[in-house]
Amino acid sequence: MSEPHPETVKPQSTRIDLYAKHIKIHPRKDYGLFNKLRNSSVFILLAIFYGFPWLNWNGRQAVLWDLPNRKFYIFDLIIWPQDFFFLAALMIIAALALFFFTSVAGRLWCGYACPQTVWARALLWIEELVEGSRNQRIKLDKSPWNSEKIRKKSLKYSLWIVFSVWTGFTFVGYFSAIRDLTPRFFVLDIGAAEAFWIFFYALMIWLLGAVMREQVCIYMCPYARFQSVMYDPDTLLIAYDTKRGESRARGKRKPDDGGKGDCIDCSVCVQVCPMGIDIRDGLQYQCTGCALCIDACNNIMDKVDRPRELIRYTTENRLAGKHNSILRPRVFIYAALITSMLIAVSWGLANRNPIALDIIRDRSSLFRDSGDGNIENLFRLRIMNKDHSEHVFEVSIDGLENATIDMDSAIPAIKSGTIHDHIIRVKIDPENLGGVRSTVFQIKLKALDNDKLSVSEDSVYLGPARFQRIEKK
């Protein structure tokens, strides 16, 4: 039989899956130093998140982002909209700190302090409490639906929902006073915006922390993608010692087991990994640096009478037997930037004036004759009291010789967090201006009950080059 022409032969189709099918990861529970550090970090961060809204400070909520009144309380510190550059500076410091710690010790933030890590870990604790160990959870998922499976799954999801709603409620408690929000929440007397954010945040916690878990870190988090830019051969990372571990073979090692490495291929390092990766395959962007594989491997090494740290924190240079240095130029640069910005922000907050003064000139006329032989300029003073208590202020001027201030009424007591506008007229004999069209002077504002609370702003006094005095009849 003749061979078919090459052009008539149909090539075999090759299927390429763009997205891998998700396989649920059941992390194994293990013990060790890094596991204790991670659990302690998660517990402390959860305690801070859930506890801070309930702390009182000077008769109010200690941490409250009061959006309607545009006041953000952080213990004794009150941040106003005019102070938002401090928050911007703190965000920059946080970004630089992330770069600093990543350059020194890899993804410490991801493994120990990232909100995704914290919520996922908390929800995993609930799953372990209800469904048991890793093997029990796998067995339960594979088993057919029966009364036990329905009971455990129903209890787990119910606890997840309660935890998520509680988390969403606490989140809103940072923006609406939580002691006022609590009774209103239980009688369904909350506003539409409050209800939306409570249940939206609860949905996100349940979806990202319970359902998606490691997929958030692998597919959604941008940090996993660009972290390698901040790595260098001297960055601490979690690595498997291939020289010592290969070749792998199961069982304990005997003195005459030549050619066999210390790795017994037990795969416990894979079972404890919340990302489901094998650290023995080398550095991977999915690795969050939780170091649970180090604890797991150390425990196995103890059981098979081999030295610990087959998997350990190390650097590429150290693994290659080269000189290693943690203190390198980029580390010093990040440290210097963070330190200088912290000093600047701290100094700015410590020396921040709680009294703000804006001066607005009357634009209807540059100057006018006051009718008593003098000329006057009108100014609108916009006074903002950012202090904790109300104050009464007095106004004075400096830089205009023999000038006087005329007001229709005294400045009233200005309450904390309020703005008051007050009109003043500054009068002066034109001869004291010396024929100058404009003179820079200062308007000063001082609290009568506290000499330390004062502020001054420059303004310009306008007058004529020539002035014909109007004599009164």
Q: Where are the domains of the chain?
A: 33-226, 230-319, 355-462
The rounded average pLDDT for each run of 10 residues, N- to C-terminus, in the chain (473 residues) is: 44 50 84 93 95 90 86 83 82 89 86 92 94 92 92 95 95 93 91 93 93 87 78 87 86 70 90 92 87 94 91 88 82 92 88 85 80 85 85 89 85 84 88 82 88 87 66 45
pLDDT tens digits, one per residue of 163-216: 999 999 999 999 999 999 999 999 988 889 999 999 999 999 999 998 888 888
Q: What pLDDT, on a 0 to 100 scale, did the predictor assign at position 1? A: 43
Written as six digits, the tokens of 261 are 């490495």
Which residues have a Cβ under 8 Å from the Cβ of 208 and sit 6 or more positions away? 116, 119, 120, 216
Which residues have a Cβ under 8 Å from the Cβ of 24 and sit 6 or more positions away? 141
Secondary structure of the chain in HEC code, one letter for each residue:
CCCCCHHHCCCCCCCCCCCCCCCCCCCCCCCCHHHHHHHHHHHHHHHHHHHHHHCEECCEECEEEECCCCEEEECCEEECHHHHHHHHHHHHHHHHHHHHHHHHHCCHHHHHCCHHHHHHHHHHHHHHHHHCCHHHHHHHHHCCCCHHHHHHHHHHHHHHHHHHHHHHHHHHCCCCCHHHHHHHHHCCCCCHHHHHHHHHHHHHHHHHHHHHCHHHHHHHCCHHHHHHHHCCCCCCEEEECHHHHCCCCCCCCCCCCCCCCCCCCCCHHHHCCCCCCCHHHCCCCCCCCCCHHHHHHHHHHHHCCCCCCCEEEECHHHHCCCCCCCCCHHHHHHHHHHHHHHHHHHHHHHCCCCEEEEEEECCCCCCEECCCCCEEEEEEEEEEECCCCCECEEEEEECCCCCEEECCCCCCCECCCCEEEEEEEEEECHHHHCCCCEEEEEEEEEECCEEEEEEEEEEEEECCCCCCCCCCC
> What pTM did the predictor assign?
0.78
The average confidence (pLDDT) of the chain is 85
Q: What pLDDT, on a 0 to 100 scale, did the predictor assign at position 118? A: 93
Q: What pLDDT, on a 0 to 100 scale, did the predictor assign at position 227? A: 74
Q: What pLDDT, on a 0 to 100 scale, did the predictor assign at position 203? A: 95
CATH entry 2.60.40.650 includes domain 355-462: no
Written as six digits, the tokens of 289 are 């640096």
pLDDT tens digits, one per residue of 43-54: 999 999 999 999
